[in-house]
Structure 1
């Protein structure tokens, strides 16, 4: 998809604030600092549209980005950031679970993991949660430019094994630096969200 128009429609914390346009939605989830904003910016051809924060744990709302009046990207708060209080984490968890378990417009979730490290227990829990709700998943291994090409097959195997990916899950290795994987991510989004006329 060629993207020219993107707009942050709303930052929501409860269902009554969600947009009512009935556009298909693709959620983006992952640990704090995994590169969600960089992925969004790469997909929409912008430098700093989705703000990359120097303070992890800063996104505390569901941010709905209207892309070309055709779909929404929904940026979900990053998980696993230690400096956030337990109470705050529980509030986020409820907000996220409500969205994932009730939102009819949700067509799939991009679950980001840092390809430089073995997926964490929180990454595994996230994918188990998405499997539980039968939400289509694309796992995106970020920061792949930091890994030599000769080691990338090993990285793929490690992610698939650790996260118990099933035959319906997809995996793409991605770099915001050299745009590796950008086309494959868009291909999956279009398959999930863009209806053929």
Structure 2
């Protein structure tokens, strides 16, 4: 089995505002997704560290921008889970503003890993993120999680539906199925993420 380049990830800080993030240099890949899409579990599986990102049975646990370094020049940024109804509207408005600022202003941002539940159609937030990445020239990799909840045929059909939608909308995103619990799709996802950093050179 090949070594995991994401295993070097180390927690650096959690920021409530873009201004609190590390210096805007080097390269970053951001992880985005709705609150119940399995984002923290995916990060833990990708890095091979069970406790890197805090997981919870309560959606919306990630309420800060959490930064992990791979080395002095490369970082992973876990964006707040989006869309959880029990979060107060004032906080949701704050995070909409900060996520928007991060995506628009962060010069070191090289790509976005968009995490969505494979069992459901893409939500408005997912579509907005795909559109934004396309319009901004940012790489976007759509990670359809929880593929172990479907049969192989159902998972393949869901991936094809997402790819068809991206083609129809003109979104140049890559798409794959993924399962944190079963370890399915790990190598493909890791290679795609590292390619985003490589393209930054």
TM-score calculated relative to the size of structure 1: 0.90
* Distance across 2 between alignment mates of 1:187 and 1:120: 26
Dislocated runs of 4+, deviation >6 Å: none
Give the equivalent residue in structure 2 for 1:6. 9
Asked whether the equivalents of residues 28 and 74 of structure 2 are also in contact (C-alpha less than 8 Å), the reply is: yes
Q: How far is 1:77 from its partner?
A: 0.6
Worse overlay, 86-95 or 163-172: 163-172
* Distance across 1 between alignment mates of 2:190 and 2:7: 15
1:26 aligns with 2:29: yes
1:191 aligns with 2:195: yes
Asked whether the equivalents of residues 6 and 190 of structure 2 are also in contact (C-alpha less than 8 Å), the reply is: no
Q: Which runs of 5+ in 2 are unaligned?
A: none
Deviations 1:122-142 (A, max 9, x none): 322232233333321000000
Asked whether the equivalents of residues 30 and 113 of structure 1 are also in contact (C-alpha less than 8 Å), the reply is: yes
Please show how residues 127-142 of structure 1 align to structure 2 within 5 Å: 127-142=130-145
* Distance across 2 between alignment mates of 1:21 and 1:103: 7
Question: Cα RMSD over matched residues?
Answer: 2.1
Give the equivalent residue in structure 2 for 1:109. 112
Give the equivalent residue in structure 2 for 1:182. 186
Worse overlay, 13-22 or 73-82: 13-22
1:94 aligns with 2:97: yes
Deviations 1:116-172 (A, max 9, x none): 111122322232233333321000000001111122221112223445564621001
Q: How far is 1:113 from its partner?
A: 0.8
Deviations 1:70-97 (A, max 9, x none): 5211000111111112221111011001
SS at match of 2:122: coil
Give the equivalent residue in structure 2 for 1:36. 39
TM-score calculated relative to the size of structure 2: 0.88
Please show how residues 165-176 of structure 1 align to structure 2 within 5 Å: 166=170, 168-176=172-180
Deviations 1:46-105 (A, max 9, x none): 112211022211222111111244521100011111111222111101100110001111
Give the equivalent residue in structure 1 for 2:126. 123
Number of paired residues? 197
